[in-house]
Amino acid sequence: MCGRTACTLAPDELRRACTYRNRRGQRRQPRWREGDAEKYKPSYNKSPQSMSPVLLSQRHFDKNAPVDENVLASMRWGLIPSWFKANDPSKMQYSTSNCRSENILEKKSYKDPLLKGQRCVILADGFYEWQKAEKGKQPFFIFFPQTKSSCQEKGEDQDETVSPAGINETSEVEGEAPAEWDGWRLLTMAGVFDCWTPPDGGEPLYSYSVITVDASPNLQSIHNRMPAILDGEEEVKKWLDFGEVKSLDALKLLQSKNILSFHPVSSIVNNSRNNSPECLQAVDLGSKKVPKPTASSKAMMSWLSSSSPSKRKEPDTRDEERDKKPGTQRKSEEALQRWLQGASKKPKTGSL
């Protein structure tokens, strides 16, 4: 299953992280669907019913768009079928945050969108999963392994016009290929989506479900299910190309992949209102202190700690659609580093 994720990139960083090649081999950055960049709020601790970033074909919104054009959109986590009769999506009687790949064609809520080609890719830094333990459950953060080319650490002599990920801060120019993304490699999970319009009228709501498969061998000790991972640009392209790749062929992409990294994290993530870098930080299960980091964990910490607050949008400390609560605020790179080292946090004064 997948019941909690993290996605901390700012809207413009998400565009760069999703750079793809079109059918002519040209590199392109997907644009945000109009108004959706504002609906997305970066977060270290996203739960169902929040708005999350997804990648999909532009042809779902514009039938005249090129077949290979992708677009970013913000969608509600937890699919609301187009045929849902109530006027309030919170009145759904069952959970649709996940759908099992093996019976996706047996349930109308998922079968209809799938056969219509309504496939999307859910984007996240990674997801959380809970392992049953003697005393309660132990949370883990699970993510793509990070290579040396990703999450590059800023050098002291690096020009100030370079972003935290090591990319020149230049806008996409017509005819000019966007720069390679050297930041955090986003986890790309297969999903299906639908569009529901309130029976009494109102703005259409786009929502999605994460497709799950049996857990890979290295994750079975944590949980018996995992999201269906799309590994690499080619798999993402095939999943999104609903015109060329038919539904039954697309389902063949949904396999357990033994490729993810993970580490245990603090139980602070158990409460979805907690939203800070501490949610992602690796802990030692014996001492609860920061352990010697693995290569991927070190890459993740380097990416977070080298990110300049002036150039990255601070994740909103509010969990969308939940009560307002005091949060935490990143004041500087040094303050963020103290977060990652488990230092005490200072709550904001006043309400958010």
Active-site positions? 2, 129
What one-character-per-residue DSSP string does 125-162 give?
Answer: SEEEEEEE-SSSEEEEEEE----TTSSPPPPTT--TTB
Cβ neighbors of 261 (< 8 A, separation 6 or more) are 142, 143, 144, 145, 146, 294, 296, 297
| Chain center to CA of 238 | 19
Give the tokens for residue 178. Answer: 């966007």
DSSP 3-state of 225:
strand
User: CA 46 to CA 49: how far, in whole Å?
Assistant: 9
Closest CA to 2 of 188, 208, 210: 210
Amino acid type, 124: A
